[in-house]
Amino acid sequence: MGSKSMNILVCIKQILAPEAVSEGSGGPGGSVWGNDAPTAKEGPRNFPAPSFADYCYRMNPYDEHALEEALRIREQFPEAKIDALAVGPDRCRRVLRRALEMGADRAVLLQVTPAAAGGSGPPSSGEAGATHSQEPRPMSSGEPGSPHARSDSKPTRPGSSFPPSALTPYETAAIIAAYLRDKSYDLILAGVMAEDGMAGQTGQLLAELLGLPCATAVISLRLLSPHGPVYVEREEDGGERSAYEIALPALLTIQSGINRPRYPALSHVLRARTQEIAIVAAAGLRPVPRERIVSCRRRGSSSQCVFLTGPLPEQARQFLDFCRARGFLNA
């Protein structure tokens, strides 16, 4: 961590856009447009036309706040470098492209195939998406999502691989930790939770695996030097706040009220069209599962419903009699 410039990593997740699907349109993956889904059209200056996935997926809003906080740190310390990192299938390139449009310097995708994400293990060498190298590689011109992809390609509609990932928070954290084992970052930022799962565990697990100090639900962040310490305020239950001084390197999970994410500048949008997204096969990074299901069976239902009737005092007496009869209260 003794580099002259500050290195910041922002972990982002691609989630399903709530406005893109509805329960009444064929279940998961159904579009609110039905058969009127947007189609690819020739874009100006050979820009790639938006795919169907562009409308169905978005960056996790909490991660947008984390990225915005990283951008504000770089405004304070212009020598700082910001990397955006995502774990997931190939379509996660779209949110990484969005991170580049907002101002990230570099984007890395730890690529997990849909089969591997579903729990069937890493892909074999013959499977689509399998690679033997864990080194970043640039996108080729023929790949979906590439800035040089053909604009007359048909939009990809979500199918059986929907939702995007079945990785647990531990698996996601372990994949990122394995990738970072030979890399140095002064500050790692992530959203306090993902808007789809709302587990709020990945950041803390990643900090533990990396052996870094961690503060969660950060609502205020201040740096006086690019090498720390960082002064943060955490949001706690009941609206209380607690303040901490944390030495770098550190990991922080960012709460939504800390800032208002910016709109991408046109210059950044144009630059992002030609920036490469580094792809790393996550098959060799995935951890050994810490638990597995040995058996699963359904127990017979023994529940019953008892209705309390009469005035409120009578209902209270019936409730007490019910509890005493079943041993919940001492007679």
The domain that holds 19 is classified in CATH as: 3.40.50.620
CA neighbor of 176 nearest in space, from 253, 278, 88: 88
Whether 255 has a pLDDT exceeding 70, the answer reads yes
How does residue 96 score in pLDDT terms, banded at 50, 70 and 90?
A: very high
User: 325: Cβ–Cβ under 8 A, 6 or more apart, which residues?
Assistant: none
**pLDDT of the residue at 52:** 56
Residue 59 lies inside a defined structural domain of this protein = yes
Whether 154 has a pLDDT exceeding 60, the answer reads no
Structure token digits, residue 14: 């691609």
The Cα 233–Cα 220 span in angstroms is 5
**pLDDT of the residue at 50:** 55
Whether 163 has a pLDDT exceeding 60, the answer reads no
**What percent of the residues of the chain are helix, what percent strand, and what percent coil, each to the nearest 5?**
30, 20, 50
Domain span at residue 11 reads: 7-281
Q: Against a cut of 0.75, is the pTM above it? A: no
**pLDDT of the residue at 51:** 57
**pLDDT of the residue at 32:** 39
Higher pLDDT, 321 or 123: 321
Higher pLDDT, 286 or 326: 326
Higher pLDDT, 139 or 295: 295
pLDDT, tens digit (0-9, with 9 covering 90-100), for 166-210: 788 999 999 999 999 999 999 999 999 998 888 899 999 999 999
Q: What distances in angstroms separate CA 316 from CA 130, 309, 312, one per listed residue?
A: 64, 10, 6
Whether 60 has a pLDDT exceeding 80, the answer reads yes
pLDDT, tens digit (0-9, with 9 covering 90-100), for 268-325: 899 999 999 999 998 777 776 677 778 887 777 667 788 899 999 999 999 999 888 8
90-124 burial, b for 16+ CB within 10 Å, e for fewer? bbbbbbbbbbbbbbbebbbbbbbbbbbbeeeebbe
- Provide the domain count of the chain: 1
Whether 141 has a pLDDT exceeding 80, the answer reads no
Tokens 């159904």 correspond to: 30
Average pLDDT value for residue range 136-143:
40
Residue 168 lies inside a defined structural domain of this protein = yes
Contact 149, 48 (CB under 8 A): yes
Residue 309 lies inside a defined structural domain of this protein = no
**pLDDT of the residue at 294:** 82
Averaged pLDDT of the chain: 77
**pLDDT of the residue at 114:** 63
How does residue 157 score in pLDDT terms, banded at 50, 70 and 90?
A: very low
The Cα 25–Cα 34 span in angstroms is 7
Residue 290 lies inside a defined structural domain of this protein = no
Average pLDDT value for residue range 33-56:
49
Residue 317 lies inside a defined structural domain of this protein = no
Residue 321 lies inside a defined structural domain of this protein = no
Please state, for a pLDDT cut of 90, what percent of the chain lies above it. 49
Q: Give the type of residue at 122.
A: P
Quote the DSSP letter at residue 19. Answer: G
The Cα 312–Cα 169 span in angstroms is 47
**pLDDT of the residue at 241:** 92
**pLDDT of the residue at 331:** 59
**pLDDT of the residue at 2:** 43
The Cα 325–Cα 106 span in angstroms is 66
Higher pLDDT, 236 or 155: 236
Residue 315 lies inside a defined structural domain of this protein = no
